[in-house]
Amino acid sequence: MTVLEMRGVSKTYGQHAAQVHALRGVDLSVEAGAMVAVMGPSGSGKSTLLTIAGSLEDPTSGAVLVGGAALSGMSRNAKARLRRRTVGFVFQDFNLLPGLTAAENVALPLELDGLGAGKARTAGLQALDGLGLGERASRFPDELSGGERQRVAIARAVAGERRLLLADEPSGALDSVNAEAVMRLIHEACKRGVAAVVVTHDAQLASWADRVVFLRDGRIVDQTAPLAGPESLLVPGPSQ
Amino acid sequence: MSVRHALLALLSEGPKYGLQLREEFEARTGEVWPLNVGQVYTTLGRLERDGLVESDGTGDDGPQKGFRITADGEQELATWLRTPPDLASPPRDELVMKVLVALRVPGTDVQGVIQVHRKYLVQLMQQWTRIKEYEGESDLGLALVVDAELFRLDAVIRWLDAADGRLKRAAVEPPRPVPVGLPRLRRKVGVQR
């Protein structure tokens, strides 16, 4: 099932001579359970692609469908509901609310969506448990390490019934061990059926994806071939 | 990859048979570098000739022939571990050559050439990452080897990205004149071992 579909999406900022074409005719489909990485240099349109996919910005032209529903026909409220229910965001700087504990940060979007406080808390704790953070649930963000904060942000992005995870340089500020842990978590969320789009300029992050698309000057210029099995890299030993 | 020193390292744990050395070498390097038995015995023969290992001397190089490290062998191993490999001279890298040549061949889409290589490298990294994902957590040797490969490939991609950025800038800004004295320095850095 296609969770995210972008068809001929373009985005232009400014007018006349000051016009900037951030995206030009982008087509992108992401199936349930797939992780797609979008690689490109600064200014290639990566972040714009993500904000449009997440309904935070409207495209100048083209269509975006999330879970089969076209964003163009939705009211502001309907888009906000979609973001609370279906779409999870992970940013480089975590974006956790400092006055809330880890569990409250994860439960908040569910509560805002109308789930009772008790149920929201249970779902939040469940998501934190799943990421090995059950014991840190009552800590505030400033009591957590960078790696733990990003795991809380991922728990928040996948808690409830979310189907689309949008991540912008999700391990940018982390060391390589924590960055790998973050990518493993996103990959595991995909195995449970979440569709993920990760934008990054970092090839090590992108290499966790099933498919890597290359963005340049707002256009998708290339993408990787379907993955060959890992065994193709390992030569059987003489004893085998 | 120094098979010679890897065998000395394995023998530093205690006496071993040739076949056993091969199996342990492969296991500890995540089975990424296969080693044939002939290579093991040839290397052991040279180590013995150089006085770095001793065998129990029971005839031919059969599976029952045992080897142990000598004091000189232990000294050699300790020295090797602390000797940095020669990374001072830039290697004659084929990919760097291809990009430099692409700049000179009329009508070549250099950025297109760069993208072909970038995609290939990312695909290789995806495969290594899969290996790490499935087996890296249970096999420390393999995880270290895979990390080394990922960082190496990543560095090449970063170089391609930097080259791409430089070309983009060079297309709008003409290169500045070379300051006096710099060409000699460049030639020196480029010297091969």
Domain spans of chain A, in order of start: 2-224
How many C-beta atoms lie closer than 10 Å to residue B9's C-beta? 17
How crowded is the C-beta side of A165, counted as CA atoms within 13 Å? 36
**Model confidence over B116-171: pLDDT tens digits?**
999 999 999 999 999 888 876 778 888 898 999 999 999 999 999 999 999 988 88
Confidence of residue B38 (pLDDT cuts 50, 70, 90): confident
Look at strands A164-168 and A219-223 and give their pairing.
unpaired
**Model confidence over A54-74: pLDDT tens digits?**
999 999 999 999 999 999 989
Among B26, B118, B165, select the one facing A237 at the smallest CB separation.
Answer: B26
**Chain A residues with CB inside 8 Å of B124's CB?**
233
**Model confidence over A23-53: pLDDT tens digits?**
999 999 999 999 999 999 988 999 999 999 9
| pLDDT for A230 | 60
Mean pLDDT computed over A186-196: 91
Confidence of residue B53 (pLDDT cuts 50, 70, 90): very high
For chain A, the residue count is: 240
| pLDDT for B1 | 54
B45, B52 contact by CB (below 8 A):
no
How many C-beta atoms lie closer than 10 Å to residue B7's C-beta? 28
| pLDDT for B191 | 46
CA distance A76 to A56: 10
A219, A25 contact by CB (below 8 A):
yes
| Residue (of A94, A88, A95) closest to A127 by Cα position | A88
Q: Which position has the higher pLDDT, B174 or B141? A: B141
B182 pLDDT more than 60: no
| pLDDT for A101 | 93
Q: Which position has the higher pLDDT, A66 or A112? A: A66
| pLDDT for A33 | 95
Give the residue from chain A lying closest to B120, CA to CA. A224
Domain spans of chain B, in order of start: 3-82, 94-189
CATH superfamily of A2-224: P-loop containing nucleotide triphosphate hydrolases (3.40.50.300)
* Residue contacts between A and B (CB atoms, under 8 Å): 81
- A226 lies within 8 A of chain B by CB: no
**Model confidence over A123-171: pLDDT tens digits?**
888 888 877 888 999 999 999 988 889 889 988 888 878 899 999 988 8
| pLDDT for A57 | 93
- Tell me whether residue A170 is exposed, middle or buried, using C-beta atoms within 10 angstroms of its C-beta: 0 to 12, 13 to 18, 19 or more: buried
| pLDDT for B192 | 47
Q: Which position has the higher pLDDT, B174 or B49? A: B49
Provide ipTM, 2 decimals.
Answer: 0.84
Do the Cβ atoms of A214 and B118 come within 8 Å? yes
- A212 lies within 8 A of chain B by CB: yes
Mean pLDDT computed over A196-206: 94
Confidence of residue A234 (pLDDT cuts 50, 70, 90): low
**Model confidence over B97-111: pLDDT tens digits?**
999 999 888 889 999
3-state secondary structure of B141: helix
For the segment(s) B3-82, the CATH number from 3.40.1440.10, 1.10.10.10, 3.30.70.1350, 3.40.1410.10 is 1.10.10.10
Confidence of residue B183 (pLDDT cuts 50, 70, 90): low
A75 pLDDT more than 70: yes
A239 pLDDT more than 60: no
- B142 lies within 8 A of chain A by CB: no
Mutate which of A38, A202, A204 to test chain B, going by most B C-beta atoms within 10 A?
Answer: A204
**Model confidence over A84-108: pLDDT tens digits?**
889 999 888 778 999 999 999 999 9
A204 pLDDT more than 80: yes
B185 pLDDT more than 60: no
